Structure 1
Amino acid sequence: MNSHSFPYQLYLVISEADCVGRDFLKVAEQAILGGVDIIQLREKKISSDEFLRKALQLIEITHKYNIPLIINDHIEVTKRTNAAGIHVGNSDAEPTYLRQQPFFQNKIIGYSIEYLSQLANEQTAASDYLGISPVFRTNTKTDTITEWGLEGITTIRQLTPKPLVAIGNIHLANAKDIMKAGADCIAVVSAICGADDPEKAAYELKNEILK
């Protein structure tokens, strides 16, 4: 898969908690209006039923604007919403396993890498894009091993043709540098979810990376 088949540049990772008391569905819609191309629903501490309920609400909005919805690490929710795809990390279902399931054969599968050695493994080969996490350390993601930095993105870019989605403390001041370093797409959480005006925040980020 090349970057033409992953044409997304601004990726919102959303959870209700990250929206600090606001309606996450409204935040998602404002972010789409501002220029977000793809959204991932990442809910870690809720029941499967609650996750499914939120995903069904969110997919109504993403469908309305023709934006792909990715589900973080929940096979059943992905299937029951018929979402565009799933994102998995190293302790989740493996991309090779997912790709063997009929449902996932034509779905987007994202895979987070934490070590350079993973670029050569079959999981990377089975994925549609790689999550480079975190580029810079954040409070929302404390269980990661590597802080990649700009040099890390450049190194990974030289080693794989896969689309690279960078995430981790990305904001207006560093977004352009991250794209220049070799990322195809930037993923943000608090830069949009925590913004006073999510639509404006998305618009500014999108303009910054398209410059």
Structure 2
Amino acid sequence: MLFVLSQSFYEFWTAAAGNTPLEWVAVVTGFACVWLAARESLWNFPVAIFSCALYIVVYFRQALYSDSLLQIMFIGLSVYGWYEWLYGGRSKTELPVSRTRRWEWLLCALFIPAFTFGFGYYLDNYTQDTVPYWDSFTTAGSLGAQFLMMRKRLENWWLWIIVDIVYVPILWHKQLYPTSVLYAVYLGLAAYGFWEWRRALHTAESSSLVSA
């Protein structure tokens, strides 16, 4: 039993070490951008843009076409989110953490399943994607989560947790071992981000009550 576990561990590290340096740099910068986002740091956006640019290539090489396309969308959303965090508050001040509005939940509830089945059908019939609908779901869920994040809605972390849970086995299946482990770490970071943002929200709400 011990021999089998040792052999499996050795095979994992051998495969992981064989992954491209590009993926390793993307992993490190990907971790950094999520950590910075959890800390409400504006630096998460430039780091995210750099990491996404690397993952466009990484995912495309592994036939994860939906996720490769997602990175391009993330770059655009990161640019917008950067501006929104800086000037999206009242009188173009820094945007505070807030709760998700009903219309935003409704938009996500309509968009995520529609994109999952629509784009999943395309991937299933016209590409070599081996997990088309799961690939499409993680893309849709990530876009929904990023949409809420760039508006600094607390509940964006809930969506990230769901997406990260699905990503881990998909990326492992695609032999993107470092990235799969990264998404497992993202689960912890998402929980930490939710805790940090909720504390910031409660502090802001308490300050507002005192001022009133």
* TM-score (ref. length: structure 2): 0.25
* TM-score (ref. length: structure 1): 0.25
Which has the larger strand fraction?
1
Which has the larger helix fraction?
2
